[in-house]
Amino acid sequence: MKTMSPEENIYNLIPTEEAKAPKPPRYISTFSDSVKIEEKKNKAAHKTLGPAKVEVPSPKEFLQKHTKEATLAQKSALYDSTGRPPRCLAEDKRPPVPHKTEQPLMGVQTNKSFITTNVAEAVMAVPKKPQPVYVDTKRGDKHLLETSGLVPKYIKKKDYGSTPEYLAKRNEEVQRAQEEYDAYVKERLRMGAMKQLSGEERQSVIEGIKKNWDQLHHEYQGLSVVIDTVPKKAHKERLEAEMKILERDIDMMERHKIIYIANN
């Protein structure tokens, strides 16, 4: 049997050295040699800072005056053996300025006297009429009279008071559609496919619809004040929908005096 040591032991009072765990070996990449070789390949001598030693120029080779100026070619070098200037210089040369005694021709030449023409046009011209204006303030503010609405210029138009063309065309289309509808109704009545309600029948139908609406309205008024259940809400919505349908039917029957009924 194994002996169980108690929690309190005299040997625990003696200080002991802590056993340190050994460190793992340092990681070394297998590609370190190839990286060093590639880095040395990319390097070049004197790539950024230049050579380590530079030859000092001789004291005799100092900068002299006018040594950096561009030397102009001699005038004789610009001309060929015949004494003519080269082609590039001949093309760039502009014509000479005319003498003050010369009268160069400019544009189209004519013998017309513009002074006489202008005088004749000024004599025969109709004087311009002043534009009519009106003044509405004590300071003399002027406004155009034509666009003010004070001049009855619209009643002087040739087509004033006549029906516009688009309205006449629209009225013709409406009349044509009404004639087609009347012809269709007459044909259906002749064939016996529909019949026209008389005034008494129409009035009886309206009274019957109103009586049904009164019954639904009386039932609607008898609903409970608090509607908190699903059946109550459904019953209320059904009554409202039926009342709206009856109201639409009553309005249609009262607006139309002539009503046709199709025969089955």
d(CA 250, CA 242): 12
**Residue 149 pLDDT class (50, 70, 90 cuts):** confident
Q: Which DSSP category does 51 fall into?
A: -
**Residue 167 pLDDT class (50, 70, 90 cuts):** very high
d(CA 243, CA 220): 9
Q: What is the pLDDT of residue 207?
A: 93
Beta bridge partners of 135: 142
Hey, CA dihedral for 38, 48, 58, 63, is it positive or negative?
Answer: positive
**Residue 238 pLDDT class (50, 70, 90 cuts):** very high
- Report the amino acid identity of residue 79: Y
**Residue 242 pLDDT class (50, 70, 90 cuts):** very high
**Residue 124 pLDDT class (50, 70, 90 cuts):** very high
Question: What is the phi/psi pair of residue 216, to 5°?
Answer: -65, -40
pLDDT > 70 fraction of the chain, expressed in percent and rounded: 85
Q: Is 70 exceeded by the pLDDT of residue 89?
A: no
**Residue 230 pLDDT class (50, 70, 90 cuts):** very high
Contact 205, 254 (CB under 8 A): no
Q: Is 80 exceeded by the pLDDT of residue 122?
A: yes
**Residue 78 pLDDT class (50, 70, 90 cuts):** low
Contact 211, 249 (CB under 8 A): no
Domain ranges of the chain: 165-262
Q: Can you list the alpha helix ranges (DSSP code H) found in 43-164?
A: 87-92, 114-124
Q: Which burial class, exposed, middle or buried, applies to 262 when counting CB atoms under 10 A from its CB (0-12, 13-18, 19+)?
A: exposed
Structure tokens at 59: 């004291």
Beta bridge partners of 260: 196
pLDDT > 90 fraction of the chain, expressed in percent and rounded: 26
Beta bridge partners of 262: 194
Q: What is the pLDDT of residue 74?
A: 54
> Long-range CB contacts (< 8 A, 24+ apart) of 113-122?
none
